[in-house]
Amino acid sequence: MKIQASALTDDFNDPLITIEEDEEAREEDLWFLPGPLEEEADDLPPGPRAEPPETAVIEDWAKAEGVHAARLARVAGRLGALDDRLLRGPEGWRHRLALIEAADLSWFAGDRVSSDRLALWISMRLSGAQDDPNALAGVGWAVRRLTGGPGPQADLAAFLDRRDPEHAEDGAERFEDRAGGWLDFMAAARDLHPITRACMGYHLWRLAGLGGHGDQIEATVTASRIAASDGSGAIFAPLAMGGAGGQRASGLPTERLARWFDGMNSAILTAMRTLDDIEAWTLRAENVMARLSGCTPVVA
């Protein structure tokens, strides 16, 4: 029997081909494959940012409320004092404050309706040649909502007197759906103080698609009713009497809430001074009229 020579050499000095070298050789043979990916500079413009979730928005306003807890306590205390005074006072006080608040709101919206002209329009529908009937009607709506009726949290569409048309276009978003979404958002923030919740709802008004003609008056009236929802004497919390600074929409929730508190604080003080003037005028008028017998008064 012939023994074949072994395929293995006995020379241990010859290098052996390792597995790694074998894989590299195979990769060099695959010349048709693309090379490794290289990181390229991101020169593309930024795309649309995703809107933050509702819980994140509410948490931001809750943190802002905690930062301004002292301001909130001071404003809430003064609103409670105004509520108690209106509860013990005559009905005419609330109506007078509502006229002043609505008239100031009209100036912010650019309509410039005085409280006296507004009172004539509401009582007898009297207007001058220079008056805009649409502006008077919008401000008259504000007076009605500031003096009574169900609040916006029950039915926002009915509160605003805005309804969807009977024959809406296909695919068009209904106003009742947008109003319902805003109300659901406000209900999710029920742990916030009503004054803070009113400020948040005011600044989210247009984002919810509720804007339109006269939206500043509608948003402010709605927020003023929500801020005073815990009261029994004051139907609304004064906002416009302190100027338009409290409703300025700029900055983070902390900054917006600080301006809101300062504006409401100034408006409440203005309302209290107005009631002082009305009460003093009433006492003077009663003293003068008490000396009259009912006949034609003497010439002053």
Residue 300: both structure tokens together: 């002053």
How high is the pLDDT of residue 5? 46
Per-residue confidence at 3, pLDDT binned at 50, 70, 90? very low
pLDDT reading at 25 higher than 70: no
Q: How much is the pTM?
A: 0.76
| Cβ atoms of residues 127 and 120 within 8 Å | yes
Residue 135: both structure tokens together: 């502006």
How high is the pLDDT of residue 117? 82
String of DSSP letters for 66-79? HHTHHHHHHHHHHH
How high is the pLDDT of residue 280? 94
How high is the pLDDT of residue 73? 96
How high is the pLDDT of residue 288? 84
Give the pLDDT confidence of 211-224 residue by residue, as tens digits.
765 588 999 999 99
pLDDT reading at 86 higher than 50: yes
How high is the pLDDT of residue 42? 54
How high is the pLDDT of residue 7? 45
How high is the pLDDT of residue 13? 52
Per-residue confidence at 43, pLDDT binned at 50, 70, 90? low
pLDDT reading at 187 higher than 60: yes
Give the pLDDT confidence of 259-281 residue by residue, as tens digits.
999 999 999 999 999 999 999 99
Alpha-carbon torsion (191, 196, 202, 203), positive or negative: negative
Residues 6+ apart with CB under 8 A from 206: 215, 219
Residues 6+ apart with CB under 8 A from 84: 233
How high is the pLDDT of residue 66? 95
Per-residue confidence at 109, pLDDT binned at 50, 70, 90? confident
